[in-house]
């Protein structure tokens, strides 16, 4: 096992990784920007190194500074968390070259599965259903020709990343050129590549994803699915496990095919295979995230598996600690992403938290790096906390989440808590009747997703 590990991230995920490392007896090194000098991940790490100014391109995306921090502190491994450099094959490669264990897949696997176009082709070869789509497109003319073959509506998607950036739904040829240029520009700004491709837009889509773990001994397991359909601007705001739309047979059948495909690919460490479900409950491969997900706690709650500890153990050469190919879900879990944003427009709302009190009680978990008097800076993601609950079944989990939200106190900034309250009492949500456009009923500001 590693003796010391650097965490190349910030906020709640950095603190989450510190918790796992402490339980494994591993010393931790935090890196931080000047804006995060007083952050909890800095306070609770064994060592901390400032890596640059607030701007992420000069700090959390600065590979040279992060590697230097690892070298001067004699760290043996680097955990990238999610976001920032977590899905950078180049960063994983630099870690390997610098004799640092990268806690994630091999660079070549990140390169394959992190490119959506290549990933779709690879999964199709292994019998995983994919939506009709195109190759990478360079010009408006190529896009128009591809869309005519696929049939409208289509989705323009960035080949190199996710999180809703470089993504545009297009309903007609008339709207495609402008959307294509916008998507290319967003993709270039967010991921350093303008590459985009087209994919058929599924009617009334739901977003279903499978959590996987693979070790260096050739074993891959899946830990069931998460329902991530409730989104605003293509970004998830509420997740649950298991999905009401996936029965035990579908979970077993598709999960088995996912495992078989990833064994062939040589996948190691944690990852998430994402699918779109159409109105007929057909599942189509969407993309793969080659990292730990924001919503990983819901899977931990229904399986009892500590996914971050598993990541670390796998990177240290140990086998996956799950017997068999999967685990049946126990009960039901829901996660609400509490974000610093206007609940009506979803506009970010940076500022100082003047009062902060988290809920507790049976089946309640809060992952956060926020405290009273801490500042949510404008430079990074607006996530304040992840409120996660577990219940014997979905109704109990919903009831527990409603209670927990009512007991969550955040003063000084606006948050998404009012939106979560509305979702949890909505008749269609309670009945499991929703798709990625669900939030449009609460806001006309582009709340839907795909």
Cα–chain-centroid distance for residue 111? 17
- Region of 224 on the Ramachandran plot (φ > 0 left; ψ -120 to 50 alpha; else beta): left
DSSP string, 377-425: -TTS--EEEEEEEEESSHHHHHHHHHHHHHT-EEESS--SHHHHHHHHH
Does residue 184 sit in helix, strand or coil? helix
Who wins on pLDDT, 238 or 120? 238
Q: What is the rounded CA–CA span in Å between residue 177 and residue 288?
A: 27
Q: What mean pLDDT comes out for the span 126-138?
A: 92
pLDDT band at 220, cuts 50/70/90? very high
Question: What confidence category does residue 106 fall into, taking pLDDT thresholds of 50, 70 and 90?
Answer: very high
Q: What is the mean pLDDT of the chain?
A: 94
CA distance 255 to 126: 13
Catalytic position from the list 165, 291, 313, 400: 291
Q: How far is CA 268 from the centre of its chain?
A: 17
How far apart are the C-alpha atoms of 6 and 18, rounded to whole Å? 9
| Domains delineated in the chain | 4-103 (3.40.50.20), 132-200 (3.30.1490.20), 206-441 (3.30.470.20)
Cα dihedral angle (160, 437, 205, 200), rounded to 10 degrees? -50
Average pLDDT over residues 207-222: 98
Mean pLDDT of 296-325: 98
Residue 315: helix, strand or coil by DSSP? helix
Q: How many residues does the chain have?
A: 450
CA triple 162-164-167, angle to 5 deg: 95
pLDDT at 446 over 50: no
Q: Measure the CA–CA gap between 375 and 331, rounded to whole angstroms.
A: 36
pLDDT of residue 432: 96
Q: What average pLDDT does this structure show over 334-343?
A: 96
Does the pLDDT of residue 449 top 70, yes or no? no
Greater model confidence, 234 or 324: 324
Task: Give the CB-side neighbour count of residue 435, counting CA atoms within 13 A.
Answer: 13
pLDDT of amino acid 294: 97
Please check the confidence at residue 445 and state whether its pLDDT lies above 70.
no
Band of pLDDT at residue 73, cut at 50, 70 and 90 = very high
Closest CA to 208 of 269, 292, 295: 295
Statement: residue 450 has pLDDT above 60: no
Give the residue from 18, 62, 24 showing the smallest Cα distance to 41.
18
Is 1 within 8 Å of 23 (Cβ atoms)? no
- Per-residue tokens: 360: 């507790």
| pLDDT of 164 | 72
In the predicted structure, residue 444 carries a pLDDT above the cut 90: no
pLDDT surpasses 80 at 441: no
Whole-prediction pTM value? 0.91
Backbone φ and ψ of 100, nearest 5°? -110, 135
Token pair for residue 294?
């924001």
Q: What is the predicted pLDDT for the residue at 90?
A: 97
Does the active-site annotation cover 291?
A: yes
Query: Omega into 346 within 30° of 0, i.e. cis?
Result: no
Token digits of residue 163 = 């999180």
Instruction: Give the Cα separation of 8 and 84 in Å (integer).
Output: 8
pLDDT tier at 189 (50, 70, 90 boundaries)? confident
The stretch 173-186 carries a mean pLDDT of 95
Burial of 402 (0-12, 13-18, 19+ CB in 10 A): middle
The DSSP element (H or E) to which 300 belongs, if any, is: helix 296-303
- How large is the average pLDDT for residues 77-88? 96
In the predicted model, what is the mean pLDDT of residues 124-146? 93
Strand order, beta sheet including 235-241: 283-289, 269-277, 206-214, 220-232, 235-241, 332-339, 383-391, 364-368
Residue 321 CA to its chain's centroid (Å): 22
C-alpha torsion 127→129→133→134, nearest 10: -10
Q: In this model, does residue 190 exceed pLDDT 90?
A: no
Asked if pLDDT for residue 41 goes beyond 60, the answer is yes
Q: What is the pLDDT of residue 410?
A: 98
Residue 301 banded pLDDT, cuts 50, 70, 90: very high
pLDDT tens readout for residues 250-293: 999 999 999 999 999 999 999 999 999 998 899 999 999 999 99
Q: pLDDT category, 443, cuts 50, 70, 90?
A: low
Coil, helix or strand for 290? coil
In angstroms, the CA 98 to CA 77 distance is 10
What is the rounded distance in angstroms from the CA atom of residue 241 to the CA atom of residue 298?
Answer: 6
Q: Give the integer Cα–Cα distance in Å for 83 and 90.
A: 14
Residue where the block lists tokens 């590693």: 2
Taking the CB of residue 7, how many other CB atoms lie within 10 A of it? 28
CA dihedral 102, 103, 109, 111 (to 10 degrees): -60
């Amino acid at each position: 096992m590693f003796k010391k590990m650097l965490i190349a991230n910030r906020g709640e995920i950095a603190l989450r990784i510190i918790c796992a490392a402490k339980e494994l007896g591993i010393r931790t090194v935090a890196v931080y920007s000047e804006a995060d000098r007083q952050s909890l991940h800095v306070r609770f790490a064994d060592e901390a190194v400032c890596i640059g100014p607030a701007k992420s391109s000069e700090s959390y995306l600065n590979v040279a500074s992060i590697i230097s921090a690892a070298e001067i502190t004699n760290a043996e491994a680097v955990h990238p968390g999610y976001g920032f450099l977590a899905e950078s094959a180049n960063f994983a490669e630099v870690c390997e070259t610098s004799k640092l264990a990268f806690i994630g897949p091999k660079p070549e696997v990140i390169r394959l599965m992190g490119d959506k176009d290549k990933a779709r082709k690879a999964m199709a070869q292994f019998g995983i259903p994919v939506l009709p789509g195109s190759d990478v497109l360079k010009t408006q003319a190529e896009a128009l020709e591809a869309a005519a073959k696929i049939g409208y509506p289509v989705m323009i998607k960035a080949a190199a990343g996710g999180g809703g950036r470089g993504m545009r739904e297009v309903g007609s040829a008339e709207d495609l050129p402008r959307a294509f240029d916008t998507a290319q520009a967003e993709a270039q700004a967010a991921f350093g590549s303008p590459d985009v491709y087209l994919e058929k837009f599924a009617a009334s889509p739901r977003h279903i994803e499978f959590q996987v773990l693979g070790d260096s001994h050739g074993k891959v397991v899946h830990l069931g699915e998460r329902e991530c359909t409730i989104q605003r601007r293509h970004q998830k705001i509420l997740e649950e496990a298991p999905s009401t739309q996936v029965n035990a047979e579908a979970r077993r059948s598709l999960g088995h095919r996912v495992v078989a495909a990833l064994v062939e690919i040589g996948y190691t460490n944690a990852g998430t295979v994402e699918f779109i479900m159409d109105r007929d409950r057909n599942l189509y491969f969407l993309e793969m995230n080659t990292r730990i997900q924001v919503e990983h706690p819901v899977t931990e709650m229904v399986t009892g598996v500590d996914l971050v500890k598993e990541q670390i153990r796998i990177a240290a050469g140990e086998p996956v600690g799950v017997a068999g190919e999967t685990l049946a879900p126990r009960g039901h879990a829901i996660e609400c992403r509490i974000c610093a944003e206007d609940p009506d427009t979803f506009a970010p709302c940076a500022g100082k938290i003047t009062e902060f009190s988290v809920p507790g009680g049976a089946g309640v978990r809060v992952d956060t790096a926020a405290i009273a008097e801490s500042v949510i800076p404008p430079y990074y993601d607006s996530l304040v906390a992840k409120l996660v609950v577990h219940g014997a079944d979905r109704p109990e989990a919903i009831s527990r989440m409603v209670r927990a939200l009512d007991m969550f106190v955040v003063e000084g900034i606006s948050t998404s808590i009012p939106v979560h309250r509305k979702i949890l009492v909505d008749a269609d949500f309670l009945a499991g009747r929703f798709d990625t456009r669900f939030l449009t009923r609460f806001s006309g500001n582009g709340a839907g997703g795909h």
